Amino acid sequence: MSKPPPASRPRQDKASQTLEKAVLALRMQRPDEAERLAASVLKGERDNVVATQVLGTALLSQNRAEDAVEALQKTALRATDPAIETLLAKALTAAGRPDEALDQLRRASERRPPYPLAFLDLGEGLGADGRFDEAVAVLETGLALIPKADGLRIALGYLHLKRNDRGRARRLFQQVRTAAPQRQDAMVGLAKVMVLDGEYAQAADLYRRALVLQPGDAATRLSLGKCLLEMGEREAGEAAIRAATHEAAQLAGPAITALAATSRGRFFLRPSAALKFLNAEAT
């Protein structure tokens, strides 16, 4: 006669089903529902890492950074899980505690097996703080441990671009393009290098390909417009810039600057005239 299943099995199954619903709610952009469901799982399984991740992400989505820090800290101490530690760092940054966030990311980057996002966020955080040498060292360490982590390679490319080391940036973006030809962020990165090197036609081609992959990327459409203006294709360039501001009104300022800065652009004496030209509302 077979033994009956353990009494805890039904509870585990229910928790698993609840957690699946929480993840789905998060994907469907219903963070309040995801928060409620994840919290109910954690009442019975306080060390459930996935539930903690869902809860922390849901709280961050609701701009409740301090609540997210509180929800993540205890699990981070108990579980020593790099995914939780990296999410905690994001919450600390959102809560205005960047130094603590960097310390948390350093700990996460020391976990093994290595967690790529910890290296990525640490490198980007140090770069945003102007600590480029440290940021490069972090990303290079991550790539040595995870050679196929193209996200780290792209982040390193952007760091070199900020330092105006266009040769290294170009090589890194091209390496990713060779390994993953359809990677949109590598296309955009390489196009940015080409713009700085005056290769406007090649850059415009890459921007167009990137927009096929992500048609709603208004920033890339704005960059395409600037390229077209530099190439003398004024009508097409202005149309692309207008389209970018229609997709993202917050780009009106950069669009006005782009029109004035390019050699074949337009200069407006009054911002209202520029906004009228772009058909974009001031925010």
- Give me the pLDDT at residue 216, please: 92
- Give me the pLDDT at residue 281, please: 45
> Within a domain: residue 131?
yes
Cβ proximity of 104 and 92 under 8 Å: yes
> Within a domain: residue 99?
yes
Closest CA to 113 of 76, 146, 153: 146
Angle between helices 98-109 and 132-145 (to 10 degrees): 30
Q: What is the extent of the structural domain holding 92?
A: 38-147
- Give me the pLDDT at residue 5, please: 54
> Within a domain: residue 270?
no
CATH of residue 55's domain is 1.25.40.10
Residue with tokens 């903690």: 52
- Give me the pLDDT at residue 173, please: 98
Query: Cα(57)–Cα(212) distance, rounded to whole angstroms?
Result: 30
Digit-by-digit pLDDT tens for the chain (283 residues) are 445 455 555 656 788 899 999 999 999 999 999 999 999 999 988 888 999 999 999 999 999 999 999 999 988 888 889 999 999 999 999 999 999 999 999 999 999 999 999 999 999 999 999 999 999 999 999 999 999 999 999 999 999 999 999 999 999 999 999 999 999 999 999 999 999 999 999 999 999 999 999 999 999 999 999 999 999 998 899 899 889 988 888 888 888 787 777 766 666 646 666 666 777 444 4
Query: Cα(154)–Cα(172) distance, rounded to whole angstroms?
Result: 7
- Give me the pLDDT at residue 80, please: 84
- Give me the pLDDT at residue 4, please: 47
204-210 contacts, C-beta under 8 A, 24 or more apart: 204/228, 204/231, 210/184
> Within a domain: residue 58?
yes
Please state the domain count of the chain. 1
One-letter identity of residue 112: R
> Within a domain: residue 243?
no
Closest CA to 85 of 119, 36, 46, 127: 119
- Give me the pLDDT at residue 272, please: 67
> Within a domain: residue 203?
no
One-letter identity of residue 260: A
> Within a domain: residue 174?
no
- Give me the pLDDT at residue 8, please: 53
- Give me the pLDDT at residue 282, please: 40
> Within a domain: residue 162?
no
pLDDT tens digits, one per residue of 51-103 = 999 999 999 999 999 999 999 998 888 888 999 999 999 999 999 999 999 99
For residue 72, give both structure tokens.
Answer: 């993540």
